Structure 1
């Protein structure tokens, strides 16, 4: 015999509307009542009719994660996987499902997001990319769709966003290399249209300027955030007539490629070139030598992005009650790659 919402309500001693609110994750249900109803639902093996629930509540309890364009290789980058883990953990706690979408270009991304939102297949979107003049951000903002940006917009101050202080993080990383005695410091940056990359470049330049050090344009390499980029960059950097003795690298995966390239060229880290990177993924402790890195709180970035978006979806009228911009603190993690062997770790 089919288990209905009414039967669950009768056994729990509550109204059908209370069961409905528990199913939809509505905040106005006492925690004790919610636990009791969920326990009875499990015992009775009750499965909510999600289509019917969506029609009644006008929500889907689903959010979309939009991955960066042309980044199908992102699943090999532990940064993205940890970010998704944070998002999925919080979404699950809130009773939300996630969709993962990937567009080949911005036009395709806009079409995909439009189809999902207008077709009421998702309630909101989490954007992984933070780009200059972003067409997807424009579309979501103009149409007043719920979304959160992991990063910051160069155009809108009022949109919901979760980010690090990337300028300060790069400033701190560069100053760490300076404290180790380095005066010639380079930077392997990310894509030029990525705002996080521009902010980190600005932080690096500020630290160099504040310490009165030499700045050379050939010491700044513009690369995509993938392992092979760091590998190929080294053949250029280490053959310069006057080369850096240390570099800041935009991502752990690139740093791993940098070390591989240096090994092939018979250079040693940190003796010939000291390195510090960003993200502090598990890769940094598996590398030889281990990699110094800025821990940006990847899991917390994802968890917070999911949390604030779902709150916005459930309580759209409270969108101006609190701040729209959430900053996750960073930490400097020092390992072998940036410490001269005479000092140890």
Structure 2
């Protein structure tokens, strides 16, 4: 015979309503009572009927997570598993499920989000990207559906919840670091400008050059499309110019790993011949050869805070938009060298 909430209440010497509140983690129930009731639930092997409770509350107890690419492509970038780990950690603490988008194109992603909303499959959505003129984002705004973004919105910034790093500033910081090491010919590689993070980092790079009275040169910028299509040849062309760069700023660590591989094939040494610096500080970055200097953007924390924002939006749908910026840390390793005479 199945154990009921009444059985748990009787065994724990509390009311059934108290057991119900423990299940929903109600803040007015003491920690001591929660511990006692949960121990009884575990001992009696009582499993709450969340489906029935969700129907009664008109809630799915599920949040949607939408990536910019298909799951197969996205998980090739270490950013996504780590940010999803942060989301899942917070969701698990609140006994929430995750509905992960698997759309392979912009249109498929849009249709999947429409199905989530119209089919009432989720209570809210986290977008793990911010794209220029994104119809998925515009649809969520028009539907007044709870959502938040990991990234700065391209439009309606004051109307949308988001969590991000200050990508303009961190790009300025890495250029400043390279200039302090004596570099003047600094290249920027990668980053699809359809995404706001890429345009923000490029803007920060250009701004820092201007602050140091260094001229931005188009031949020092390799767009994400050109990089992906040409790969090794794009790097070869960059490094065989009359005045090749002495330092490369890579859009993220995944790009940096590929650049280091191409440079090795071209018999160009890092950092002896060219320095390289990047963003994201993936776990592999300290193990590549040479260990990669990278900006730690605290990806796990981005996932945690994005989930917190979404849950708060679900509870308070009419509150004003909230923006949170996660601090970053420059992790200096061995992929950059000084060109200053006393420091070589």
Structure-2-length-normalised TM-score: 0.93
Cα shift at 1:318: 6.7
**Corresponding residue of 2:208:** 207
**Corresponding residue of 2:123:** 123
Cα shift at 1:254: 0.5
**Corresponding residue of 1:51:** 51
- Structure 1 unaligned segments of length 5 or more: list them: none
**Corresponding residue of 1:143:** 143
**Corresponding residue of 2:337:** 339
**Corresponding residue of 2:11:** 11
- Mapping 1:278-297, distance limit 5 Å: 278-297=279-298
**Corresponding residue of 1:326:** 324
Matched, 1:178 2:176: no
Q: Does the CA contact (< 8 Å) of 2:71 and 2:101 recur in 1?
A: no
- Structure 2 unaligned segments of length 5 or more: list them: none
Sort the Cα spacing of 1:303 and 1:134 in 2 relative to 1 into closer, same or farther, 3 A: same
**Higher mean C-alpha displacement, 251-260 vs 68-77:** 68-77
Cα shift at 1:82: 1.0
**Corresponding residue of 2:219:** 218
* TM-superposition CA deviations, 1:255-294 (whole Å, max 9, x none): 0000000000000111211110000011210110011001
- Mapping 1:46-195, distance limit 5 Å: 46-70=46-70, 72-157=72-157, 158-195=159-196
Helix, strand or coil: the match of 2:155? coil
**Corresponding residue of 2:245:** 244
For 1:327 and 1:279, the matched residues in 2 are separated by: 15
Helix, strand or coil: the match of 1:64? strand
Q: Does the CA contact (< 8 Å) of 1:24 and 1:61 recur in 2?
A: no
For 2:255 and 2:226, the matched residues in 1 are separated by: 6
Sort the Cα spacing of 1:225 and 1:215 in 2 relative to 1 into closer, same or farther, 3 A: closer
Cα shift at 1:97: 1.6
Cα shift at 1:231: 4.6
Q: Does the CA contact (< 8 Å) of 2:190 and 2:255 recur in 1?
A: no
**Higher mean C-alpha displacement, 133-142 vs 97-106:** 97-106
- Mapping 1:18-37, distance limit 5 Å: 18-37=18-37
Q: Does the CA contact (< 8 Å) of 1:169 and 1:203 recur in 2?
A: yes
* TM-superposition CA deviations, 1:296-340 (whole Å, max 9, x none): 111100111112212322x225733xx610100111111111124
For 1:255 and 1:122, the matched residues in 2 are separated by: 37
For 2:34 and 2:313, the matched residues in 1 are separated by: 21
**Higher mean C-alpha displacement, 9-18 vs 263-272:** 9-18
- Mapping 1:256-275, distance limit 5 Å: 256-275=257-276
Structure-1-length-normalised TM-score: 0.92
